[in-house]
């Protein structure tokens, strides 16, 4: 027999960011607990609003499954004597399992015959297990922050107001710290508060719909968006959509209701982004645009209140937004009184990191790295000058009133862009100030200008080398300076723009600028940073579709030049479809293994002497290799790796013949070393593209 289980945790309003992770935990931990209790389930359903976390277990069995365990004991020859009588070993084993020797059985195993006992534990009725199970489930939920309230000892994200638990139509009764479960729930706080007595799971969801609770998260989100779009359309305007904010406001309300408010048109003199930030960040509202694209002096508030209270909601939001916009205008006008270039000097008083000095020092290092990058990339004099100027001004807005007061910190970079434009800076300089923070997160857009890309690289290279140099490295989930994001940003920018750069050269230059601040040697720091970048490059190449063993093979040889590394990986990926590719990879593995077993450094091997060849197969391999070597080396020098591999794959047959008929490790040391030298030379050419011994072939 199967019945549905309904479990609802009623709480004071949860922070919107807590709800989705809590529901994910609720499902995962329920699955583990029901499995541990041997209670079989048809399916799980989790829903949630700010006031409730809901678990509906559909088709839950009415009885726990029986448990049958087989315990193996000593070998039969030890458990019984020659006459078949049980020994002390058998008697003791049986007693330890609560059995007698008559319960012992003999099991045939690969290691011989052993005695065993079978223990059976009958399952209990589900309703007997649920109180303990649900109590454990609730107590297992974790949150970024928890609290205790009143006389309660339990800690939770917010105070628990009620617990609803029904198995079929019968309540599951248990108590957690003076909070007792039952069949009572509550509706929307203002529209239809309740209480309501619930018969079963189906009845519960009917009550929720009637009581003004949109419990389905996806449906609530879609309804929120539709409400706002409809409200905007009624005013002949277009909603400025923000997916992240939509997720937030959908988890602030139990049923969405759009309320349109307005602000004074004088504020429209401010940059659009400032107005939108004030509306979105400080009041969780959405901005509106006119049909011609201009920002409208209106906004939309998503309310959780009774529609009768729309006027109060509107007036309250208008008052708050007007105050925020007034602050923004004051900060903006104050900032405009002094040019951005004067603010740069104030960065001397702002610490970037205690061991790395002020942000002004960081700016000076950025300028030096920008100069190095400009020279490495052969930028035009104008591009170089613009990049250096952008680096000089990049952090100046951090000491502006707008950013420094923390009210609009989200606009750092953007405000620098606007202030630079007002000061008459070159448009590329102004835009680069904004772009140097890009990419700010995964899948964020990359800088559009060459100056923005160079300034962004300089900023990120300085941050990474500085942090690694003073011992600040990412550990687990801890990455306070966002070094992983910075490294990924560097890799993405370089690959996107196909910058022909040497990683080591740039890192060496950045580390030189940190002399006197490093807490470990520059060589050790460089090694750690290079390993850090290798992992980031490997990750991005795999995201681009390269096989894991191919990226490993290409990176093992070199990853100093990201563009070169990707070209080599692409050539190998393309060549993988060639029918002789696996044979070449296998031969490389064999060569690598033989050379390793010799225990002699490759630098000490003698050069190949054709006069010492005494078998036709080794002569043929040497001739074939010599015929292709110069053109292959030329293709590699030109980074035409597809053509180079196309020629090297043609060596498959002579290589196979060599290994089929030539014994390398002969007793004659001269002959042996000559054959090893041939193998080493061929491998060295392959190794200019990748370490093919790391390629996984189909036979493996």
Based on the domain organization, do 231 and 305 belong to the same domain? yes
What's the whole-number mean pLDDT along residues 423-440? 96
Based on the domain organization, do 235 and 133 belong to the same domain? no
What's the whole-number mean pLDDT along residues 288-309? 93
Based on the domain organization, do 47 and 187 belong to the same domain? yes
Q: Is residue 169 part of a domain?
A: yes
Q: Is residue 489 part of a domain?
A: yes
Based on the domain organization, do 445 and 517 belong to the same domain? yes
Phi, psi of 261, deg, nearest 5: -120, 175
Residue 600 has pLDDT above 70, yes or no: no
pLDDT band at residue 9 under the 50/70/90 scheme? very high
- Tell me the pairing of strands 179-182 and 160-167: parallel
Q: Is residue 371 part of a domain?
A: yes
Q: Which pLDDT does position 613 carry in this prediction? A: 84
Which CATH number characterizes residue 32's domain?
A: 3.30.70.260
Q: Which pLDDT does position 661 carry in this prediction? A: 85
Task: Convert the pLDDT of each residue in 335-353 to its tens digit.
Answer: 999 999 999 999 999 999 9
Based on the domain organization, do 190 and 157 belong to the same domain? yes
Task: Convert the pLDDT of each residue in 203-259 to its tens digit.
Answer: 999 999 999 899 999 999 999 999 999 999 999 999 999 999 999 999 999 999 999
Give Cα separations from 623 to 280, 593, 654 (angstroms).
Answer: 72, 24, 10
Q: Is residue 508 part of a domain?
A: yes
pLDDT band at residue 605 under the 50/70/90 scheme? low
Q: Is residue 108 part of a domain?
A: yes
Task: Give the domain-ending residue among 210, 244, 270.
Answer: 210
pLDDT band at residue 416 under the 50/70/90 scheme? very high
Based on the domain organization, do 54 and 144 belong to the same domain? yes
Q: Where in the sequence is the domain holding 488, given as residue range(s)? A: 351-544
Question: How far apart are the two ends of the chain, measured CA to CA in Å?
Answer: 49
Based on the domain organization, do 509 and 623 belong to the same domain? no
Distance CA 641, CA 646 (A): 8
Based on the domain organization, do 299 and 271 belong to the same domain? yes
Q: 110-135 b/e with 16+ CB inside 10 Å = b?
A: eeeebbbbeeeeeeeebbebbeebbb
Residue 696 has pLDDT above 90, yes or no: no
Q: 660-686 b/e with 16+ CB inside 10 Å = b?
A: eebebeeeeeebebbbbbbbbbbbebb
Q: Which pLDDT does position 51 carry in this prediction? A: 95
Based on the domain organization, do 665 and 598 belong to the same domain? yes
Q: Is residue 607 part of a domain?
A: yes
What are all long-range contacts of 667-672, with beta carbons under 8 Å and residues at least 24 apart? 670/612, 671/612, 671/614
Which CATH number characterizes residue 672's domain?
A: 1.10.730
Task: Give the domain-ending residue among 121, 139, 158.
Answer: 121
Q: Is the pTM of this model over 0.85?
A: no
Q: Is residue 579 part of a domain?
A: yes
Q: Is residue 528 part of a domain?
A: yes
Query: Which string of DSSP letters, residue by residue, matches 460-476?
Result: HHHHHHHHHHTT---BT
Task: Convert the pLDDT of each residue in 440-472 to its tens digit.
Answer: 988 899 999 999 999 999 999 999 999 999 999
Task: Convert the pLDDT of each residue in 551-588 to its tens digit.
Answer: 999 999 999 999 999 999 999 999 888 888 888 888 88
pLDDT band at residue 541 under the 50/70/90 scheme? very high
pLDDT band at residue 683 under the 50/70/90 scheme? confident
In the predicted model, what is the mean pLDDT of the chain?
91
What's the whole-number mean pLDDT along residues 366-373? 97
Based on the domain organization, do 129 and 116 belong to the same domain? no
Residue 604 has pLDDT above 60, yes or no: no
Based on the domain organization, do 203 and 326 belong to the same domain? no
Task: Give the domain-ending residue among 483, 513, 544.
Answer: 544
Q: Which pLDDT does position 306 carry in this prediction? A: 86
What's the whole-number mean pLDDT along residues 115-123? 80
Number of domains in the chain: 5
Distance CA 692, CA 539 (A): 20
Based on the domain organization, do 56 and 78 belong to the same domain? no
């Amino acid at each position: 027999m199967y019945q549905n289980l309904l479990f609802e945790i009623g709480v004071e309003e949860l922070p919107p960011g807590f709800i989705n992770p809590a529901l994910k935990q609720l499902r995962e931990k329920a699955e583990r607990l029901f499995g541990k209790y041997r209670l079989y389930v048809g399916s799980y359903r989790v829903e949630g609003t700010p006031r409730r976390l809901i678990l509906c277990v559909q088709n839950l069995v009415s009885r726990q499954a029986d448990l049958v365990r087989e315990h193996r004991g000593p070998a039969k020859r030890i458990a019984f004597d020659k006459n078949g009588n049980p020994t002390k070993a058998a008697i003791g084993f049986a007693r330890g399992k609560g059995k007698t020797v008559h319960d012992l059985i003999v099991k045939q195993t690969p290691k011989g015959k052993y005695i065993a006992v079978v223990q059976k534990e009958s399952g209990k009725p589900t309703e007997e297990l649920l109180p303990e199970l649900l109590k454990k489930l609730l107590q297992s939920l974790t949150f970024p922050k928890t609290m205790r309230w009143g006389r309660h000892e339990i800690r939770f994200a917010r105070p628990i107001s009620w617990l609803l638990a029904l198995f079929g139509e019968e309540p599951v009764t248990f108590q957690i710290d003076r909070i007792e479960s039952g069949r009572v729930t509550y509706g929307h706080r203002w529209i239809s508060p309740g209480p309501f007595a619930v018969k079963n799971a189906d009845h519960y969801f009917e009550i929720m719909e009637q009581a003004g609770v949109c419990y389905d998260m996806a449906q609530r989100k879609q309804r929120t968006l539709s409400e706002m779009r409809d409200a905007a359309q009624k005013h002949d305007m277009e909603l400025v959509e923000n997916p992240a904010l939509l997720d937030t406001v959908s988890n602030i309300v139990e049923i969405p209701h759009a309320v349109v408010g307005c602000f004074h048109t004088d504020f429209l003199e401010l940059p659009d982004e400032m107005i939108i930030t004030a509306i979105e960040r400080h009041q969780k509202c959405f901005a509106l645009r006119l049909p011609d694209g201009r920002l409208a002096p209106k906004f939309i508030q998503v309310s959780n209140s009774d529609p009768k209270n729309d006027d109060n909601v509107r007036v309250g939001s208008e008052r708050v937004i007007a105050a925020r916009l007034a602050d923004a205008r004051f900060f903006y006008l104050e900032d405009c009184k002094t040019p951005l270039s004067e603010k740069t000097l104030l960065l001397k008083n702002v610490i970037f990191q205690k061991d790395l000095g002020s942000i002004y020092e960081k700016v000076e290092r950025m300028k030096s790295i920008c100069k190095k990058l400009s020279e490495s990339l052969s930028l035009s004099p104008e591009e170089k000058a613009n990049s250096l100027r952008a680096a000089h001004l990049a952090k100046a807005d951090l000491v502006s009133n707008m950013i420094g007061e923390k009210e609009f910190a989200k606009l750092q970079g953007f405000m620098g862009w606007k202030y630079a434009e007002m000061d008459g800076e070159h448009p590329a300089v102004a835009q680069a100030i904004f772009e140097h923070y890009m990419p700010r997160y995964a899948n964020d857009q990359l800088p559009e200008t060459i100056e923005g890309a160079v300034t962004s690289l300089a900023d990120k290279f300085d941050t990474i080398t500085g942090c690694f140099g003073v011992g600040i490295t990412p550990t687990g989930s801890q990455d306070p300076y966002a070094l992983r994001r910075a490294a990924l940003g560097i890799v993405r920018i370089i690959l996107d723009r196909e910058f022909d750069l040497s990683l080591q050269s740039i890192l060496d230059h950045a580390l030189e600028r940190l002399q006197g601040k490093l807490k470990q040697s520059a060589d050790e720091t460089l090694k750690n940073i290079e390993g850090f970048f290798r992992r980031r490059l490997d990750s991005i190449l795999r995201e681009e579709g390269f096989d894991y063993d191919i990226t490993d093979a290409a990176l093992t040889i070199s990853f100093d030049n990201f563009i070169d590394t990707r070209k080599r990986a692409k050539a190998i990926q393309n060549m993988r479809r060639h029918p002789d590719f696996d044979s070449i990879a296998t031969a490389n593995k064999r060569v690598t293994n033989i050379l390793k077993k010799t225990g002699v450094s490759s630098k000490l091997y003698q050069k190949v002497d054709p006069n010492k060849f005494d078998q036709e197969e080794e002569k043929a391999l040497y001739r074939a290799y010599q015929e292709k070597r110069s053109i292959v080396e030329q293709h590699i020098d030109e980074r035409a790796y597809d053509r180079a591999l196309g020629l090297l794959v043609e060596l498959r047959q002579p290589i196979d013949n060599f290994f089929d008929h030539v014994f390398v490790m002969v007793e004659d040391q001269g002959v042996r070393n000559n054959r090893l030298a041939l193998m080493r030379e061929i491998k060295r050419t392959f190794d200019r593209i990748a370490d093919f011994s790391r390629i996984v072939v189909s036979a493996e």
